[in-house]
Structure 1
């Protein structure tokens, strides 16, 4: 009986209306996940680096990596892949599947639920480094930043 009276009071009170939106955001927005509840980031780092190189080679669509990329990282990769496609078409080079292999990778964790990695990838013509920042959200890793060097 007391609980139902409190609920009625919560609906009628204009000062508590804002707190309901905050509670909704608390449960339905992206939730940070601690490192102990996340899988090992090494396989994702290596596969994401290979995927980025394949996108820039023109043999993989950026959309195939979208689930592992945050919005800003996704947009930057789309822009970079469009520039690479224009450069390939200007040279008249067709998109072929190159063999990329990960030479080394280094990781560090500046905060709980955050991993920063640098991956060195060897391709058929040159060796590149990819720096990425992974953050744990909703129980999985997502790349929030990508830099191709």
Structure 2
């Protein structure tokens, strides 16, 4: 990486010297020290996911918090839940869930692995997540509802 007189870093591809723009526009990793406490994010994302599955929140509202893979999986699961509600004639209603606990650990800088325990009217569930610091904020790179 070379630095220009104005102080901007420029990356060159070794083979032909062309400017490698993908390094500038790709998501940039962020250190844990530059990120906020992950626990409020974990709780809010969990609430949002259950609202999406209940049909009272649009999945696009969570897109900025998720990377592509968990987003697509949530879209698929949301569509299946909507079909099931439609087939049974059950209207969408706001879920009544209580977050019992949120535990997290950091296996590497800028990475948090967590599990959030959620109690619903019928059963208690766990939501496992992996967060990574990207572009100065937390984003979920993996999401599983157990």
Task: Tell me the TM-score range normalised by the shorter chain.
Answer: 0.7 to 0.9
Using the size of structure 2 for normalisation, the TM-score is 0.86
- Aligned partner of 1:117 in structure 2 is 114
Whole-Å separation in 2 of the counterparts to 1:71 and 1:101: 27
1:78 to 2:75 alignment? yes
- Aligned partner of 2:40 in structure 1 is 43
Whole-Å separation in 1 of the counterparts to 2:22 and 2:56: 39
Out of 88, 92, 102, the position equivalent to 1:91 is: 88
Using the size of structure 1 for normalisation, the TM-score is 0.85
- Aligned partner of 1:34 in structure 2 is 31
1:16 to 2:17 alignment? yes
Whole-Å separation in 2 of the counterparts to 1:98 and 1:29: 36
Whole-Å separation in 2 of the counterparts to 1:100 and 1:64: 19
Gapped regions of structure 2 (runs ≥ 5) = 5-14
Gapped regions of structure 1 (runs ≥ 5) = 4-13
Partner SS for 1:16: coil
- Aligned partner of 1:58 in structure 2 is 55
Structure 1 residue runs of 4 or more that deviate by more than 2 Å after TM superposition = 24-28
